[in-house]
Amino acid sequence: MNLFDKIHNYQLVTRLDEAGVYPVTSHEKAWLALMLANPSAAEIFEPATLDKLRRLTHIPESESTEQERFVEKAQTQAKQLWSPLVRTLRRIILGKNHIKITAATNKGPVFRNQRGVPYKLEYSLAKKAWYLIWLNMSSNRLITTPLHLIRSVDELYIEDVWYDSFLPTISEQIQQRKQMAKIVVIPRYNAELQRILYAFSCFDKEVAFDPESQVYTITLHFLSDEQEFILSRIRFLGLRVKVVENDQLKQRMAESATNALARYTETSL
Amino acid sequence: MARESFDKELQLLRLLFLTAGAYNRQQLAERLGISVHTLDKTIKKLKDIQSTFYQHVGDEEKKEYYAQLRYNYFEVTDNFLMFLYHAKSLKDSEVERLSHILEKLKQQPLSIKELLETFVDTEPDEKTIRQDMKYLEEIGAIKNVSEVRPYVYQLDGELLDSLTDDELLDLYDFIDFMANTQLPAVPGYLLQEKVKRYLKYRLKLTDASAFLYKYHFVSRILDEYQALLLTEAIRQRKIVEFHYYTPKRRKFYDSQNTNPAFQRDTSGRHQKVIPLRVIFDHQYGRWYLLAQGCGNGPLRKYRVEGMTKLVTGKSVTPEIFTSLQASADERISHSWLIDTGKLVTVRLRFFQPRDTPHSFIQERVEAQGQWGIVTEESRESFVYEINVNSTMEITPWIRSFGSSVEVLEPLFLRKQFQKEWEELLAYYESV
């Protein structure tokens, strides 16, 4: 079992691609068989397709019954891996059409029959939930709606050109929401650098190192609606890191610390 | 020929990815324990693969010294570290032969003799072709379709060819989702790459991706190679040997010191252990190995990223192995991650958010609180309780809730939190 196999060599893959040859290896089939055993497969595929795939990936002499599994720790439990809306929406996005959508919001109120441009489906590994990123045409704002709050979606057929004409607006709005923060690793924790960098490795970031002072500075790039998650990550690391640039984050950390401290100073035990 | 090892490339990519931009060439080379010259060669090789594979690597980025290891979340939907798994070296003549064989077998089933006749300019000898065929059959790319000699072979393309366009799209989405959310992922990503190219070939779909994955520890795939070797060793109850670099080290790797002018101390320590469990930690996106030293030592814990030169050795008896594994499982049954310290009861009061009907704090505690339970509930707050091996590993998780949580027990942890928040407040007081 070797992941670095000749058949995956990049020159060979590109050569075969030119010839329209796509050999699937038994190793890949075994992986697929393992994934098809996951209960969510039944939500994703039509029953006939699932049967077909299970038959095609069945490797008689496979030792998959003996499969040594990894132990996973500190996993976020997902209520549901998949949503039937994913299938519908991904096809609308692929077909470059508009949607008419009715959905609730986390704050409560429902908006009805809004016309919009579906952009991407996003899955958050932190929340284990699906979201639709779409442009609301009446407010001209980019919105992220959790799929479980969507009551109904209809497809409105339009010309591709018209769909494409909204893309600049969407990327402009994404650009406008981009934020930046600088976080330093407190040097006395430099020995833990690797763990700290791992904790930030799910963000778009750059790192700078000053050999003189031995200070590592992490520059994070994120969208404004990701601020809460970033804050929870910074609190997660506690005294190891300090926000040095981004007033909003600094402000929020100061509030957090003040309020948390108040929980311990008023003896509520 | 020595077996090609990718330890160096893996460590380099990891270092580049984690410390994006922090080090110059000298510093990188020093941390990898290789010469700057070797570093340059390795980077060049990686960039070559990357730009062959990914059209989105622009000319500007190709010119830059380092492989572009920052990616735009909204532009690149692949796991962009995957290109490394396409790095296995292959001679040009072999690329030539293998692609020729597969192309011919795609057109029609052929025997080895017939296949030999299809080579026009170069005539490889029969022995070489037989070896190629044996390899292709072993990996499942081709299959023998005749009962009797001479054996006739054909391309095994049924999986993709037998699906309708709609089914193919579902399959692509399924693979994409599973590879990005489940373990192991690398075989899934390799398959995804294939299905993506196939979709383009069959449906002329240039961009089939509609999904984005947020807060994804993409670098977890860099350790999957070792993690899978280790699970394989566990399945066969085999002892493993490797060189281990503790994470507190400054170095990630050491050259093989084949060049005497380039002697240096190796800081990796040689280990020989019985592997028992491979653990993935979702909090940091890291891998661990739980193992028993040969000769009854304590249970040992290793971070997979610190392992190089991993080889498997002899098997141990099923009885010994089973009892070791069972006792390791017992030891980590109450570990938040892998701590095997003393069992302690942690009680926490969580506060429901104000001015929103959405009880997201409770949702998060229920989703992430592992085997802990909620013991009291009111409109304003709820109490959560868990028995865990020492408080060290659960502490960051508790702290991430900020002022939405209060530690009730144990008392020492409560005091620790009070002190930590005081010190943290000092970080930001001048704001």
Distance CA A14, CA A9 (A): 9
Contacts with A, B 115-144, CB within 8 Å? 135-136, 139-142
Distance CA A89, CA A44 (A): 13
* Residue B95 CA to its chain's centroid (Å): 27
Residue A12 domain-assigned? yes
| Residue type at position B27 | Q
Instruction: Quote the minimal CA–CA distance from A139 to chain B in Å.
Output: 22
Distance CA B347, CA B274 (A): 36
Please count the helices (runs of H) and the strands (runs of E) in chain A: 10, 10
Comparing CA positions, the residue from B298, B227, B245, B242 lying closest to residue B272 is B242
Residue B429 confidence (pLDDT)? 86
Give me the mean pLDDT over the B331-345 stretch. 96
Q: Are residues A88 and A143 in the same domain?
A: yes
Q: Are residues A41 and A94 in the same domain?
A: no
Single pTM value for the model: 0.93
pLDDT at A101 over 90: yes
Q: Are residues A182 and A144 in the same domain?
A: no
b (16+ CB within 10 A) / e for B388-418: bbbbebbbbbbbbbbbbbbbbeeeebbeebe
Q: Are residues A153 and A193 in the same domain?
A: no
User: pLDDT confidence of B120, banded at 50, 70, 90?
Assistant: confident
Q: With an 8 Å Cβ cutoff, is B284 touching chain A?
A: yes
Residue A148 domain-assigned? yes
Query: What percentage of chain B has pLDDT greater than the value 90?
Result: 69
Give me the mean pLDDT over the A239-245 stretch. 97
Best B13, B18, B199, B394 residue to mutate vs chain A (most A CBs within 10 Å): B18
Give me the mean pLDDT over the A159-174 stretch. 96
Residue A229 confidence (pLDDT)? 95
pLDDT at B226 over 50: yes
Q: Are residues A154 and A182 in the same domain?
A: no
User: pLDDT confidence of B250, banded at 50, 70, 90?
Assistant: low
Question: Which residues of A are less than 8 Å from B366 in CB distance?
Answer: 77
Taking CB atoms and an 8 Å limit, are A207 and B22 in contact across chains?
yes
Residue A227 domain-assigned? yes
Comparing CA positions, the residue from A36, A120, A12 lying closest to residue B188 is A36
Q: What tens digit of pLDDT does each residue of B253-278 get?
A: 665 544 333 333 345 789 999 999 99
- Which of B157, B186, B279 shows the shortest C-beta gap to A70? B279
Taking CB atoms and an 8 Å limit, are B356 and A17 in contact across chains?
no
Residue A61 confidence (pLDDT)? 58
User: pLDDT confidence of B137, banded at 50, 70, 90?
Assistant: very high
Sign for the CA dihedral angle at A145, B220, B79, A204 comes to: positive
Domain interval for residue A35: 8-63
Residue A170 domain-assigned? no
Q: With an 8 Å Cβ cutoff, is A237 touching chain B?
A: yes
Instruction: Quote the minimal CA–CA distance from A88 to chain B in Å.
Output: 11
* % helix, strand, coil for chain A, step of 5: 45, 30, 30
Please give the DSSP secondary-structure letter assigned to residue A64.
G
Residue B382: CB partners within 8 Å, gap ≥ 6? Answer: B349, B350, B352, B362, B365, B374, B376
Describe the crossing of helices A247-265 and B411-428 by its angle, rounded to 10 degrees. 150
Residue B261 confidence (pLDDT)? 35
Residue B353 confidence (pLDDT)? 92
pLDDT at B117 over 70: yes
Give me the mean pLDDT over the B105-112 stretch. 94
Question: Which residues of B are less than 8 Å from A211 in CB distance?
Answer: 27
Residue B339 confidence (pLDDT)? 95
Residue A85 confidence (pLDDT)? 96
Q: With an 8 Å Cβ cutoff, is A125 touching chain B?
A: yes
Residue B264 confidence (pLDDT)? 39
Residue B45 confidence (pLDDT)? 87
Contacts with A, B 331-360, CB within 8 Å? 332, 335-338, 356-358, 360
pLDDT at B1 over 50: no
Give me the mean pLDDT over the B225-246 stretch. 94
Comparing CA positions, the residue from A236, A145, A104, A10 lying closest to residue B336 is A236
pLDDT at A252 over 80: yes
Taking CB atoms and an 8 Å limit, are A202 and B216 in contact across chains?
yes
CB under 8 A, 24+ apart: contacts of B112-120: B112/B150, B112/B151, B112/B153, B113/B150, B115/B153
Q: With an 8 Å Cβ cutoff, is B145 touching chain A?
A: no
pLDDT at A267 over 60: no
Is A198:B304 a contact under the CB 8 Å cutoff? Answer: no
User: pLDDT confidence of B68, banded at 50, 70, 90?
Assistant: low
Contacts with A, B 307-326, CB within 8 Å? none
Closest residue in B to A259 (Cα) is B403
Question: Which residues of B are less than 8 Å from A202 in CB distance?
Answer: 215-218, 285
Give me the mean pLDDT over the B58-80 stretch. 58
b (16+ CB within 10 A) / e for B97-112: bbbbbbbbbbeebbeb
Residue A167 domain-assigned? no
Both structure tokens of B399: 């702290």
Residue A109 confidence (pLDDT)? 87
Residue A73 domain-assigned? no
Mean pLDDT of chain B: 88
Both structure tokens of A230: 């970033």
- Which of B19, B72, B229 shows the shortest C-beta gap to A207? B19
Please give the DSSP secondary-structure letter assigned to residue B233.
H
Distance CA A236, CA A194 (A): 15
Q: With an 8 Å Cβ cutoff, is A110 touching chain B?
A: no
- The lowest-confidence range among A69-83, A161-175, A218-232, B131-145 is A69-83
What is the maximum span of chain A, computed from C-alpha positions, in angstroms? 74
Best A27, A72, A171, A198 residue to mutate vs chain B (most B CBs within 10 Å): A198
Give me the mean pLDDT over the B285-302 stretch. 91
Q: With an 8 Å Cβ cutoff, is B82 touching chain A?
A: no
Q: What values do phi and psi take at B169, rounded to 5?
A: -65, -40
Q: Structural domain tally of chain A?
A: 3
Residue A205 domain-assigned? yes
Comparing CA positions, the residue from B20, B22, B25, B60 lying closest to residue B42 is B25
Q: What tens digit of pLDDT does each residue of B147-189 get?
A: 898 999 999 999 999 999 999 999 999 999 999 999 999 999 9
Q: Are residues A191 and A249 in the same domain?
A: yes
Closest residue in A to B6 (Cα) is A4
CA angle B369, A223, A131 (to 5 degrees): 60
Both structure tokens of B402: 């900020």
User: pLDDT confidence of A65, banded at 50, 70, 90?
Assistant: very low
Distance CA B33, CA B27 (A): 10
Q: With an 8 Å Cβ cutoff, is A55 touching chain B?
A: no
Is A212:B36 a contact under the CB 8 Å cutoff? Answer: no
Residue B259 confidence (pLDDT)? 39
Residue A36 domain-assigned? yes
User: pLDDT confidence of A249, banded at 50, 70, 90?
Assistant: very high
Q: Which helix (H) or strand (E) holds B289?
A: strand B286-293
CATH label of the domain that carries residue A238: 3.30.70.120
Residue A182 confidence (pLDDT)? 98
Is A100:A115 a contact under the CB 8 Å cutoff? Answer: yes
Q: What tens digit of pLDDT does each residue of A187-210 get?
A: 999 999 999 999 999 998 899 999
pLDDT at A232 over 60: yes
- Which of A12, A76, A251 shows the shortest C-beta gap to B367? A76
Residue B297 confidence (pLDDT)? 79
